[in-house]
Structure 1
Amino acid sequence: MVAPRPGSHMQIQSYKHNGRLHRVWENSLVLKGTDTMVIGANDRTLVTESDGRTWITREPAICYFHAKHWFNVIGMLRADGIYYYCNISSPFVFEENALKYIDYDLDVKVFPDMTCNILDEDEYEEHKTQMNYPAVLDRILHNNLDVLLRWIRQQRGPFSPEFVDQWYERYLTYR
């Protein structure tokens, strides 16, 4: 797999299990790009939903994607602290200047005090039935949810206290 170049711009494309495009973030800056990890940043970027509706992100965000983990993490810098939005998803692929992944509905919202809520369990169950997620996929996704929750508790990887701040400082050097 070709890795994105730091300093380049990429699109982020989220798909559903059935192959349908779910959401597109138009413009993210690559801060780090390897075969196994991409760290990106965006601020006030255009997002297009599958139904054509658009919106613009409200704050700077540092995005963490890994090719071996079935989740991605977005750290949003707000006035009262860093909030994280985590998607249970397929590992990413990078092609045609776009980072792509399959969104599997289960999400975790993490607050600045590192408490968290699991979101969209009902949507996951609905899509699991509608799109016939195989039992092995269901196990992979739930195992990765457990890994993600452990990372949050341990403040590991993108949840370490300095991670978002350090990458945000790097982002500012490009602006």
Structure 2
Amino acid sequence: MRDVRVVYRKYDQRLHWHQWMKYLGEDQYGVWLGAPPNSVSQRGAEPEVSHSQAHVQLFRRDQWFTAIFNDEPRRTEIYCDISTPVTFGETEFTMIDLDLDVVKRRDGTIYVDDEDEFAEHQVLFGYPADVIAAAQASCDRLVQAVATEEPFLTIYKTYLDKIR
């Protein structure tokens, strides 16, 4: 399994979340990377954060989001970052985080997070109208998809099995 660096930036290009993950494969849903238990991630230059549970991440081609699937017992089961489409490199995947997040808790609760940050950054960073529209449309679609469609129901669990 090759290592891939995942790099999220903000619209002004400053480094946001980043971490190294293992390439797990590609299927009809996209490219899957995994991080075993006790892996680390980092926001910008802040101290590293250790993750006691495994997680896998889905990167879809030409879609305005990425999705993280957390192993139990983490309370957040699925965390979708609304972002620009991913730029896929051999050893690095990059995208711009557009603030909005669709979150599914382990109890089944689904909600949109950081709408205030999305509104604030539209002004601060001058998001173009087409970026705003694409981000909002992706967010709106994901709220329903996370509850009713694959790979958000069971498929991701096969990738979690691979990385544990």
Q: TM-score, normalised by structure 1?
A: 0.84
8 Å contact 1:73–1:158 — kept in the other structure? no
Q: Residue 32 and residue 96 in structure 1: after superposition, are their counterparts in 2 closer, same or farther (change >3 A)?
A: closer
- Structure 1: unaligned runs, 5 residues or longer: 1-6
User: Matched residues, percent identical?
Assistant: 23
8 Å contact 2:9–2:97 — kept in the other structure? yes
Cα distance in 1 for partners of 2:17, 2:76 equals 23
Equivalent residue of 1:72, what SS? strand
- Structure 2: unaligned runs, 5 residues or longer: none
For residue 73 of structure 1, the aligned residue among 64, 67, 78 is 67
Equivalent residue of 1:158, what SS? coil
- State the partner residue of 1:159: 152
Q: Residue 81 and residue 22 in structure 1: after superposition, are their counterparts in 2 closer, same or farther (change >3 A)?
A: closer
1:112-127 matched pairs, under 5 angstroms: 112-127=106-121
Determine whether 1:100 maps to 2:94: yes
8 Å contact 2:26–2:32 — kept in the other structure? yes
How far does the alpha carbon of each residue in 1:115-170 deviate from its partner, in whole angstroms, 9 at most, with x for none?
2121111111111111000111111111111111121131x12312x222211222
1:21-40 matched pairs, under 5 angstroms: 21-25=15-19, 27-33=20-26, 37-40=30-33
Q: Deviation above 3 Å: which 4+ runs of structure 1?
A: none
Equivalent residue of 1:73, what SS? strand
Q: TM-score, normalised by structure 2?
A: 0.89
- State the partner residue of 2:35: 42
User: How many positions carry a matched residue from both structures?
Assistant: 163
Q: Residue 30 and residue 50 in structure 1: after superposition, are their counterparts in 2 closer, same or farther (change >3 A)?
A: same
Equivalent residue of 2:106, what SS? coil
Equivalent residue of 2:123, what SS? helix
- State the partner residue of 1:3: none
- State the partner residue of 1:140: 134
